[in-house]
């Protein structure tokens, strides 16, 4: 049910829709909410839910496939098969580039359904040590 192929189909559909919007000058204005420029990333990896607020269900498996869409100085967006909650903390593990495995700790800022069992997540980078101190 939760597989990488479903995420790839959504990514392909979204890419085509974005290209059409650019061709028709329907792209949102340049006032981004992000603090820095977005860089397309497009890498497949895995996510692991590492923290969720008390009382929320945790029916998310030990790890799940993700496709990173882009990166900025302050965060990333990615596709996954689970509806994540605002303030969830996720460890993203991305394939090696330049010989280094990328492990990114992020906090979910927003989650938007993009298809059946497919969600686009916006998240900000966090320092896991600082996050643990805030929780204690």
Q: Which residue has the higher pLDDT, 5 or 133?
A: 5
Q: Which residue has the higher pLDDT, 2 or 96?
A: 96
- For residue 30, the model assigns a pLDDT of 43
How is domain 4-135 classified at the CATH fold level?
Answer: Thrombin, subunit H (2.40.10)
3-state secondary structure of 14: helix
Spell out the domain ranges in the chain: 4-135
Query: What pLDDT digit, counting tens, does each position of 69-85 carry?
Result: 998 889 999 999 999 99
- For residue 135, the model assigns a pLDDT of 56
- For residue 1, the model assigns a pLDDT of 44
Query: What pLDDT digit, counting tens, does each position of 86-101 carry?
Result: 999 999 998 876 666 6
Mean pLDDT, range 15-27, rounded to an integer: 47
Mean pLDDT, range 92-119, rounded to an integer: 86
Measured in residues, the chain has a length of: 136
SS3 per residue for 53-70: CCCCCCCCCCCEEEEEEE
Dist. CA 132–CA 58, nearest whole Å: 19
What is the pLDDT confidence band of residue 38, given thresholds at 50, 70 and 90? confident
φ/ψ (deg, to 5) at 108: -70, 130
């Amino acid at each position: 049910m939760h597989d990488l192929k479903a995420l790839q189909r959504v990514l392909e559909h979204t890419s085509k829709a974005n290209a059409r919007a650019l061709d028709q000058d329907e792209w949102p204005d340049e006032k981004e909410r992000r603090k820095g420029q977005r860089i397309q990333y497009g890498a497949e990896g895995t996510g692991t839910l590492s923290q969720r607020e008390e009382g929320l269900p945790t029916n998310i498996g030990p790890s799940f496939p993700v496709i990173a869409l882009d990166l900025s100085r302050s965060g990333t967006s990615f596709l996954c098969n689970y509806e994540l909650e605002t303030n969830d903390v996720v460890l993203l593990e991305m394939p090696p580039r330049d010989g280094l495995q990328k492990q990114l700790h992020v906090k979910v800022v927003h989650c938007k359904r993009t298809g059946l069992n497919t969600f686009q997540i916006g998240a900000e980078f966090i320092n896991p040590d600082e996050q643990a101190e805030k929780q204690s």
